[in-house]
Structures are given as structure tokens and as C-alpha cells.
Amino acid sequence: MVLGWQTCLSLASTLLGTCIFSTTFPAHHAFLRWVRLAVAVPALVLALASAYTPNPPQYVPEPSNHIQIFSISSFILMRILEVCAIGFFEGSEECPRWQVVKEKKDGSKGTVETFVKLPLPTTFQGRLAYTVDNFFSMQGESFFRGCTWDWARKEIRDFRPTNLIATRIQAVRTTVITFILYDATEFIFHSRKWDLKSPNPLTSLSLPEQIFYSVTLGTFICVATDLPLALRRTVLWTVFPPAMFPPVFIGNPLTATSLVDMWSHRWHAIFRRSFDRLSLPVVWMTNRYQKYMSRRMINFIRCFTVFFLSAILHVAVASCVPPKPHITRRLFEPSLILFFLVQPLGLLFEVAVVFPATEGMPERWRSVVRRTYLWVWMIWTGRWFTDAYLLHGQFDHRGMEFSPVARLMKWWDS
């Protein structure tokens, strides 16, 4: 009997939830960590089976739907590794905890909040609530009012809108703008016939065209990532507090002030927790030799590890799309791998050269130089990502049945 991807995903999710539930028993941590390690084996097999569905249902033929299935499955897979494998080497005190604001103090740089971690629940209902909240938290947000997880980044902790009416109106406006940008950028790529027999469909074009389509794809990826969740937020924010469902991009990536700001604060944090946790073995090894390395070198090694893991994830995502005869594809797309592996070098150059060189400049010129470096770097390296994106058939189908932009252009041409 061959299990469908829905069944495999459900079983893997159930095993993951069971493992998270078991972490609330710190007194039995020594025994339960072995149990979790054993459970991880079938859970990983089920997650992989869900990700690489050999015969997907007829209603998901487009590459984007294969990627959606794989993205959910890979999220579960990495959470299994995080909870069962990485957690095996840690003490019970390392379990994620809820945190709440203990006190607020007004300082020279604004209000400073002090957070306190809550103890692990001890009742069945509390453990079940902990499991569900932990399972569904992607960025450190919590279903419980006033709570976040202790691994949430500052932008998530601080996202507590007080003017709910204005916030909900803003959500509707953002969703509409996101929809229009998604439709427009997708239309731009569909309006051109790409040479997918070439291994470099974008970088073989003229430089102005490369720049234009690189910027267009960057915009498309931002809005394509946010659109499904923006629609969800618009509906849920009418009933629930906005802090329970924070935006994927609290800060607009297109308005980032530097490369560090872009990757640290503006880009989405859906996989950040898993990447950080899966990079811990490298951290443990470097800590053993920290007397031979500078702190900057150790940070660079961890940064490189995180981007390396991201490269592996994106290569795996690309490989899940069934190949087509008219497309030239390679198993390990070098342009895709190159895009991620050079990002730590760009960050290192910015921290070591760009920041010191602009420190003494007036605020306006410092911002101009750093933003210029950011845009030049992302556009130049983004060309490689665009090559891989096109080669894997991402624009073979329209993501929307109804396209206002396409209808408008058709009317204009007539």
C-alpha cells in the first residue's frame, strides 16, 4: 500500500507533535531523548515521502504546488531534526519557553522591556497547549495573548499593535498592493519567451535586461512569499489580536538599509529557528577551538553554515519539481548554490570594509553608500538565482486564474 502525501505528512506531523509533547517532562529527559531519537527515524522517512510525492494528485500539476507541498514537508522535516537530533545533545533546560514582559523602563533609546521565561507546563492541558503552540509557531509568535517564544527575534516580540482599526485597515491595503505586485511581476515574466534550453536563460541577455528581471524576480519572491499569509492575516485579524499572526515581512526587504539589515531583520524568519538550531553542531566544534579563532571568524563560520543549509534546502526544493523535456536542468544547480554561498562573503565585506569606510560620513551619504552596496550586491547575485528559478519551470503556469494586469494589457492592445 502506497501512502499519499497527505497521509505521510499527517503521520510525520503527529510524530513531531508527540516528540514536542515529551519535552515537557524534564525529569525524564535522559530517557525520553533516546525515545525521540528513535521516533525521528520513521518521522523523517514520512516527511521525505511527503516531500517527494511520486504521483501527485491531478489538481497540483504546476511547479508552484509541488514547491508548496515540499516547503511544508521540509519545515516538518527540519523541526524533527531540531527537536529530536539537536535536542538529543542538549539538556532539558534548553527546551523552548514562553516569555512575557516583566517590566518596562523608559531609557534614552526609548522603552526597554525586560522579559521573563515561564516554567514548563505540568498539567496535561498545559502540555497540550505548549505542543500545539510550539508546533505552529513559525517566527516565535504565540497563540496566547502577551506571550512570545524565547527564540523570537526582536521584531516579533515588539509587534503588538495598539490601534487595531488602523492595523486591520493597513492589512487590507497591504494585501491589495501585494496582489497587484504579484500579478504585475508574474505578467512581466510571462510576457517574454525564455530560452530554457540554455543553462543561463537570464545571464545570457544584455546587462540592462539582467538588472531589470533580477529586480522583478526579487519583488516577485517577496510578494509571492507574503501573499498567502497576507490573505490569512486579513481574515484572522478581524477576529484575533494581530500579534498572534504577525506579518512575514515586518520590515519591507526593498527598503533595507544594508545587507546585514536585509538578511538579519527584513527577510522572513520562517526557517530561521531551524537553520540556527541545525548549525549548532558547527558552533560546538568551533567553540572547542575558539582560542585559535577570533570571534568574527566564529560568527562567519556559523553564518556560512546557515547559508549552506539554506542552499541545500533550495536545491532540494528545486529538485522536487518534475522535469520537462524542453528545459535544461541539472541536479545541483550551480547558479542556485553560488547565490547562497557568496552571501556570507558579501556580509563579511560589508562589515569589514563598507561599514568602517562610511562610519564618518554624514547620515544621508552613509545611507546612500550602504544602500547602493546592498542593491548592487543583491541585483548582481540575484541574476544567478533568477537563472535557476527560470530553469525549474516556475513561470510555466500562471499562479492566478484571474489576472487584472493581463486583462488590462489585452484591453490596451486592442
pLDDT value at 323 more than 70? no
Which residue(s) pair with 141 in the sheet? 148
pLDDT digit string (tens) for 196-250? Answer: 778 888 888 899 999 999 999 888 888 888 887 788 778 877 778 788 888 888 7
The closest alpha carbon to 184, from 215, 155, 158, belongs to 215
- Asked if 267 contacts 280 with a C-beta cutoff of 8 angstroms, the reply is no
Least confident of 29-38, 100-109, 356-365: 100-109
- b/e sequence 212-251, b meaning 16+ C-beta within 10 Å: ebbbbbbbbbbbbbbbebbeebbeebeeeebbbbbbbbbe
Q: Give the model's confidence band at 124: pLDDT under 50 very low, under 70 low, under 90 confident, else very high.
A: very high
pLDDT digit string (tens) for 44-98? Answer: 999 988 887 655 555 455 666 677 788 888 899 999 999 998 888 776 667 899 9
pLDDT digit string (tens) for 374-410? Answer: 999 999 999 998 888 888 766 666 666 677 777 777 7
Look-up of cell digits 562573503: 345
